[in-house]
Amino acid sequence: MEQQLSALQQKAQAELAVIRTRPELEAAKARFVGPNGELTALMKQMGTVPKELRPAMGKQINETKVRVQAEIDAALARVAEAEVAAQVGPAIDVTLPAPDPGPGTFHPLTQVREEMCRILRKVGFAVADGPEVETEYYCFDALNTPADHPARDAQDTFYLPPEADLANVSKRSAGERYLLRTHTSSVQIRTMLKGPPPIRIVSPGRVYRRDTTDATHSANFHQLECLYVDRNVTVRDLKALLDYIFTSLLGKDTKTRFRPHYFGYTEPSFEVDLSARHLPKVNKEWIEIGGCGMVDPVVFDGVGYDSKIWTGYAFGMGLERLAMLLYGIDDIRYFYQNDLRFLRQFA
């Protein structure tokens, strides 16, 4: 019996060591420890063992059983490991590049626009939108642009032919011509005509000037304008907004200054300069960044707001110019070429 046990143990050890698959393992398990297995058969012979030898023999059988079970467990672990290895395949060179394109990138103009909108959203400006094909009323008349102002010339502004007819851009009068808006200020007029103050909007968008395209000019560019109309809006509030915008954008040591200027739709009017550290390719202390002013009472009268009650400010700037300053881009045309080497830099 003793010899049988030791032979069984050796046999189990030898057979289990070469098992690689789960069915082989199950078969082996049945052969040794199953109800009809060899060990079970030996245990059944216990009855024939003399009574005084039984404790020692029982101990021996148990030890054998533990050893065989350990061999089975080890074989199971090997099988499980082999299964996973087959499932996952050979090890991967993790330094190989992913073959998919990407990552995707937002255009730098979008990034600058969204950053400005986020900054303005925090102080209560909602983003407004309007058509790019406009009429003379919304682009010029309502903004106090005299009838013979040069900005209206066909030399400076793109017009649609007189017979042009846009179903979803309304005209104020039949004689008006359609044009490509020269500034996003037309959105201010449409917003004011839509409802009463208070109003606080930012209107980013495309604008058009009949201009030669070169490193700093583009017939098609983007602006961003703010309009705030409420009671008791002051010059000081306007300055506070500009300070807020540019310190938010460029850091606390950024400064802005106003220079008196002239625009038909604001009074007083200012040009805005900013001074900031760490702007690439800027070698002047002050850089002109936009125009602003207090909304001219004539504009309020035109949209039916009582200029004795309502006051407001407006601010506008070019997005390309801002992006060029922020990123140190020296040619406006790059924004419109979409060269991947350009786009990827702003991901």
Among 11, 69, 243, 249, binds other proteins (CB under 8 A): 243
CA of 193: how far to CAs of 7, 138, 179, 204, 301, in Å?
102, 10, 20, 19, 11
Least distance in angstroms from the C-beta of 184 to other proteins = 12
35 is a contact residue toward other proteins (CB under 8 A) = no
From the list 13-21, 60-68, 75-83, 203-211, the region that binds other proteins by CB under 8 A is: 203-211
Distance from C-alpha of 35 to C-alpha of 25, rounded to nearest angstrom: 16
Cβ 333 vs Cβ 238: under 8 Å: no
102 is a contact residue toward other proteins (CB under 8 A) = yes
Among 25, 65, 131, 289, binds other proteins (CB under 8 A): 131
Residue type (1 letter), 172 = R
Q: What is the DSSP string of 40-99?
A: HHHHHGGGGS-GGGHHHHHHHHHHHHHHHHHHHHHHHHHHHHHHHHHHH-SPP-TTSPP-
Among 15, 24, 38, 267, binds other proteins (CB under 8 A): 267
DSSP H/E element including 123 = none
Q: Which is nearer to other proteins, 44 or 236 (CB)?
A: 236
Q: Which is nearer to other proteins, 25 or 332 (CB)?
A: 332
Distance from C-alpha of 226 to C-alpha of 117, rounded to nearest angstrom: 10
Q: Please, which of residues 244-263 interact with other proteins by CB under 8 A? A: 244, 257-262
The residue whose two tokens read 């350990």 is 70
Least distance in angstroms from the C-beta of 296 to other proteins = 8
Least distance in angstroms from the C-beta of 63 to other proteins = 50
104 is a contact residue toward other proteins (CB under 8 A) = yes
Length of the chain: 347
105 is a contact residue toward other proteins (CB under 8 A) = yes
296 is a contact residue toward other proteins (CB under 8 A) = yes
CA of 280: how far to CAs of 79, 132, 244, 330, in Å?
62, 32, 21, 10
Q: How many CB atoms lie within 10 A of CB 41?
A: 12
115 is a contact residue toward other proteins (CB under 8 A) = no
Q: Which is nearer to other proteins, 172 or 344 (CB)?
A: 344
90 is a contact residue toward other proteins (CB under 8 A) = no
330 is a contact residue toward other proteins (CB under 8 A) = no
Q: Please, which of residues 136-195 interact with other proteins by CB under 8 A? A: 148, 153-154, 158-162, 164-169, 180
- For residue 121, which phi and psi values (nearest 5 degrees)? -60, -35
From the list 4-12, 23-31, 71-79, 113-121, the region that binds other proteins by CB under 8 A is: 113-121
CA of 63: how far to CAs of 15, 66, 68, 269, in Å?
19, 5, 9, 100
Q: Please, which of residues 269-288 interact with other proteins by CB under 8 A? A: 269-271
State the maximum Cα–Cα separation within the chain, in Å, rounded to a whole number: 129
Least distance in angstroms from the C-beta of 317 to other proteins = 17
